[in-house]
């Protein structure tokens, strides 16, 4: 295991923002993961697990502890089961599964980051989420320093949540994920954007067709990482869609000029309201600029680094949006990306 010092974290994030890590380790196997944990413990330094940095905003002051970059690779297939190492890139894995004739994750094409990051926030898009296909998560338990195999039922998956980003945050280091995919399944076409994409087509799309459509829809929204595109210097959607009781939804809808508000049903009869709609109704628009920070010109939910933005710039825009939505609707928007390091 090789540990470097004072390594700038900005190149390891899709925002392209952030100061240095005091220590930076790259783990290509489980032994190196354990060694890095021991290294941090010996120095009583905080530890942060870094995947693809696509759901991350790093402080301008960096991180005063050990950053453990997960670089374990390997994909093993047994029938419909795929055991994938946490450092594998997610999108190429989706392509591989589809190429081998398996479905269940086709709508999640084009999402950046690593396989290890997918159970953390139960990655989801266009009508699918990984909770539907994860069988188990292999992880180092920092309480016991043993590797454990957590069944999906023990991962506490719900909308953009799992035990890994809530109740047991900082307890597990994911080293692998086992998925059960469906051979020759019909592609999932439940999401309105996807249905609309194929509206004018007479034939039903195959799995490859759906993957291409998802990538194209993402590209149009600036939600596909494309080299040199300022709209994708982001962490994807910056805010979660708030889940509210039906009574609050109806109150908001009754005041809306259109009489309706984009929303999806959630658990227990509650509704997930479009955060993008709330933001737009609170005085913001696509392409909104605040210094070097801004809102993507193609997607209201994505805050972007317009070039040379600091974490402070992004945080100032975040705070302005949160305050405006709170004042207009009494709803507190929750950021999706993880903040690393001191804020101030």
Ligand X SMILES: Cc1cc2nc3c(=O)[nH]c(=O)nc-3n(C[C@H](O)[C@H](O)[C@H](O)COP(=O)(O)OP(=O)(O)OC[C@H]3O[C@@H](n4cnc5c(N)ncnc54)[C@H](O)[C@@H]3O)c2cc1C
For position 19 contacting ligand X by CB under 6 A, the verdict is: no
Nearest approach, Cβ of 252 to ligand X (angstroms)?
Answer: 24
Is there a contact between 302 and 231 (Cβ–Cβ < 8 Å)? Answer: yes
Per-residue contact flags (x/-) with ligand X for residues 85 to 114, judged by CB under 6 A: -x------------------------xxxx
Residue from 187, 236, 294, 341 that binds ligand X (CB under 6 A)? 236
Angle subtended by helix axes 207-220 and 90-99, to nearest 10? 150
Nearest approach, Cβ of 240 to ligand X (angstroms)?
Answer: 10
Of residues 154 through 173, those in contact with ligand X by CB under 6 A are 164, 173
Helix (H) / strand (E) element for 209: namely: helix 207-220
Nearest approach, Cβ of 49 to ligand X (angstroms)?
Answer: 4
Stretch that binds ligand X, among 35-43, 99-107, 230-238, 284-292 (CB under 6 A): 230-238
Burial class (CB in 10 A: 0-12, 13-18, 19+), 209: middle
Q: Which tokens belong to 150?
A: 């957590």
Q: Spell 108-130 as b/e; 16+ CB within 10 A means b.
A: bbbbbbbbbbbbbbbbbbbbbbb
- Please tell me the distance from the alpha carbon of residue 150 to that of residue 177, in angstroms, as a whole number: 10
- Active-site residues, by number, are 160, 237, 336
> Of 205 and 335, which has the nearer Cβ to ligand X?
335
Stretch that binds ligand X, among 96-104, 186-194, 228-236, 275-283 (CB under 6 A): 228-236
Stretch that binds ligand X, among 97-105, 123-131, 209-217, 256-264 (CB under 6 A): 123-131
* Size of residue set near ligand X by CB under 6 A: 34
Neighbour tally for 223: CB within 10 Å: 24
Of residues 58 through 87, those in contact with ligand X by CB under 6 A are 70, 86
Nearest approach, Cβ of 135 to ligand X (angstroms)?
Answer: 17
Stretch that binds ligand X, among 20-28, 52-60, 207-215, 287-295 (CB under 6 A): 52-60
For position 174 contacting ligand X by CB under 6 A, the verdict is: yes
Is there a contact between 255 and 281 (Cβ–Cβ < 8 Å)? Answer: no
Helix (H) / strand (E) element for 78: namely: strand 75-78
| HEC sequence for 115-147 | HHHCCCCCCEECCEEHHHCEEEEEEEECCCCEE
Is there a contact between 250 and 227 (Cβ–Cβ < 8 Å)? Answer: no
Under the rule (CB under 6 A), what is the footprint of ligand X?
14, 48-56, 70, 86, 111-114, 116-118, 120-121, 123-125, 164, 173-174, 223, 225, 232, 234-236, 338
């Amino acid at each position: 295991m090789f540990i470097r010092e004072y390594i700038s974290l900005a190149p390891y994030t899709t925002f392209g923002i952030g100061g240095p890590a005091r220590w930076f380790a790259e783990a290509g196997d489980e032994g190196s993961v354990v060694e890095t944990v021991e290294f941090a413990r010996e120095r009583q330094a905080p530890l942060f697990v870094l995947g693809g940095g696509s759901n991350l905003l790093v402080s301008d002051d960096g991180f005063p502890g050990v950053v453990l970059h997960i670089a374990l690779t390997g994909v093993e297939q047994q029938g419909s089961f795929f055991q994938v190492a946490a450092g594998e890139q997610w999108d190429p894995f989706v392509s591989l599964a589809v190429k081998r004739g398996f479905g269940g994750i086709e709508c999640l094409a084009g999402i950046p980051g690593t396989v290890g990051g997918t159970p953390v926030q139960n990655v989801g898009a266009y009508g699918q989420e990984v909770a539907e296909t994860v069988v188990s998560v292999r992880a180092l338990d920092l309480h016991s320093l043993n590797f454990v195999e957590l069944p999906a039922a023990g991962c506490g998956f719900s909308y953009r949540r799992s035990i890994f980003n809530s109740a047991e945050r900082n307890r597990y280091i994911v080293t692998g994920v086992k998925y059960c995919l469906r051979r020759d399944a019909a592609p999932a076409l439940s999401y309105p954007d996807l249905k609309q994409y194929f509206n004018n087509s007479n034939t039903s799309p195959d799995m490859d067709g759906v993957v291409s459509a998802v990538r194209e829809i993402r590209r149009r929204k600036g939600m596909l990482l494309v080299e040199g595109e300022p709209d994708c210097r982001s962490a994807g959607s910056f805010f979660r869609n708030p889940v509210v009781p039906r009574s609050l939804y109806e109150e908001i809808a009754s005041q809306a000029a259109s009489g309706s508000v984009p929303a999806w049903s959630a658990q227990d009869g509650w509704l997930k309201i479009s955060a993008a709609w709330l933001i737009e109704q609170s005085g913001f628009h696509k392409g909104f600029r605040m210094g070097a920070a801004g809102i993507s010109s193609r997607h209201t939910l994505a805050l972007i680094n317009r070039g040379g933005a600091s974490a402070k710039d992004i945080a100032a825009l975040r705070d302005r949006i949160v305050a405006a939505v709170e004042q207009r609707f009494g709803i507190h928007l929750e950021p999706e990306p993880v903040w690393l390091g001191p804020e101030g």
